[in-house]
Chain A
């Protein structure tokens, strides 16, 4: 649905993105992840036909964003990061304007707008001036204008920024419900959001793509082992040696090597191999007190930090940050 090939954008001598290549399959929700200034907004502006690229191609729904811009624009819903709305318009007339511009037929417009306002939870403010709305409501009006024409592809730049936790949950479930019939690409720097909402992820840093794919596969790729956090009261060296002896254990990392008291350590084992039972059996045999035994799920957050931090140290930390 979205195909991006070697996309490059330069602002003068500054390269915002270089050689960005990725694709999004129909019905997928892909999270576009990266620190501030990584090039997320730039990529989205090119995909939404607001800005031309300096090099490379981007196709949305099979149409080129540069040469077939109008066809692309018929099929997308776009929500820019700053959520620009006409402050002097009221919500319902504003959505009516958007629907009309986007070619929603007159007969379907009224019903469609009511439906979208319900879905985005803005029906109660439909007669208010946009300038008087809170940030959360504006954000949802912005989302409503993106989906009002029921587009194939949604391009959402930080859709949950500025919302309160309850609204965030509501918007996330709304976006999730769009999957299947719509293809969604959303940028964010809130990592849990990606794990909660998205099926795939594209990680971008300093204008270049550093990782992409389904979330669980990325986690596996960067963290090939399963981890268990253990806390046992007992003679430290004996405990550590005992755990190391369990088959399948790859590594045991002492969390507090110099500390007194109970031994705290992280056990890494081959993925798919659960060693918790054996650790319990070991402690029981030796009559050690087992205080804690907890599986640590490796999250996208750790993948992200590892990737971005790795890049950072390779580059020597000297980078220019430009929010585009």
Chain B
């Protein structure tokens, strides 16, 4: 499996073209604004309840800052992640480089995994940069952060992002138009984001299934500090399915026609 050269090439292409830098900048700018607003609000409320020990009892960084921050980050990701992956196969198809790539002695699976890991690395960089926020809370604001929920929150972000990337990779493998790839990715993700809302009108098993399918349903538990296998398996399943479909979509070109 020659995953490594594909991975290196994709990372190089991310960072020699402006794509990665722009995505990083925009993502961090928006995330920073959210953090500023949430944390500013938290400090204001803290001042107000400082006189009242009863009110301060329920106020903590995890619930008042990190959970809303993670929730907001996942909404930003919903919008940004399709842009991370849209290029990966669509651009190769449009420019024709896929003709060379797929005639090199490398399995389709290795191409897929190489590209996926490169996207995951870019995503890892994006969320690693957001570690600056808890660092600010601890070092500058000198507040206490609960490390457990922080860690699980990031595990949740990683799992969710990994799933977003897999869906994006699949959409990108279907078309040679990057915009189509991005829109399809966003569409799929948004549908699964809000599918739980329809569950309110469904009853019994159907309602339970719809709720379970919802991305929204699964991402808050991590920020609360809970690692629930149900949620972990949901994301891993979704990721595996999307990657499998991508592989099929790549291989379909080799089927006898």
Contacts and interface: CB of A to CB of B under 8 A. Distances in A.
A84 B253 contact: no
A80 B13 contact: no
Contacts of B44: none
Chain A's interface size range is 20 to 34
Contacts of B256: 52-54, 66
B5 A97 contact: yes
Given A84-B97, A93-B12, A145-B100, A101 B255 contact: no
Most chain A beta-carbon neighbours within 10 Å: one of B95, B102, B104: B104
A101 B16 contact: no
Chain B's interface size range is 20 to 34
A70 interface: yes
Interface string A78-91: 10101011111100
A45 B96 CA distance: 12
A245 B95 CA distance: 65
A100 B96 contact: no
Interface in B1-33: 2, 4-6, 8-9, 12-13, 16-17
Contact of B103 (A53, A73, A88, A97): A73
A167 interface: no
A89 B103 contact: no
A89 B12 contact: yes
A66 B255 CA distance: 9
Contacts of B103: 48-50, 73, 76, 78
Contacts of B106: 101
A82 B98 CA distance: 12
Interface in A88-118: 88-89, 93, 97-98, 100-103
A87 B91 CA distance: 11
Contacts of A246: none
Contact of A85 (B6, B17, B97): B97
Interface string B55-97: 0000000000000000000000000000000000000000111
Interface string A51-74: 111100000000000100110011
Nearest to A53: B256
Contacts of A86: 9, 13, 95, 97
B257 interface: yes
A100 B12 contact: no
A80 B100 contact: yes
B8 A50 contact: no
Given A89-B12, A89-B13, A102 B104 contact: yes
A97 B9 contact: yes
B5 A100 contact: yes
B105 interface: yes
A50 B99 contact: yes
A73 B105 contact: yes
Nearest to A98: B104
B104 A73 contact: yes
A103 B12 CA distance: 19
Interface string A144-171: 0100000000000000000000000000
Given A100-B2, A103-B105, A51 B100 contact: no
A50 B8 CA distance: 23
Interface string B243-257: 000000000011111
Nearest to B106: A101
B17 A88 contact: yes
Contacts of B100: 78, 80, 84, 145
A53 B254 CA distance: 9
28 contacts: A45-B99, A49-B102, A49-B254, A50-B99, A50-B103, A51-B257, A52-B254, A52-B255, A54-B257, A69-B254, A73-B103, A73-B104, A78-B100, A80-B99, A80-B100, A82-B96, A84-B95, A84-B96, A84-B100, A86-B9, A88-B17, A89-B12, A93-B12, A97-B8, A97-B12, A100-B8, A101-B2, A101-B5
Interface of A: 10, 45, 48-54, 66, 69-70, 73-74, 76, 78, 80, 82, 84-89, 93, 97-98, 100-103, 145
Interface of B: 2, 4-6, 8-9, 12-13, 16-17, 95-100, 102-107, 253-257
Given A78-B103, A97-B8, 16 more contacts: A48-B103, A50-B99, A51-B257, A73-B103, A78-B100, A86-B13, A86-B97, A87-B95, A88-B16, A89-B12, A93-B12, A97-B9, A98-B104, A100-B4, A101-B5, A101-B106
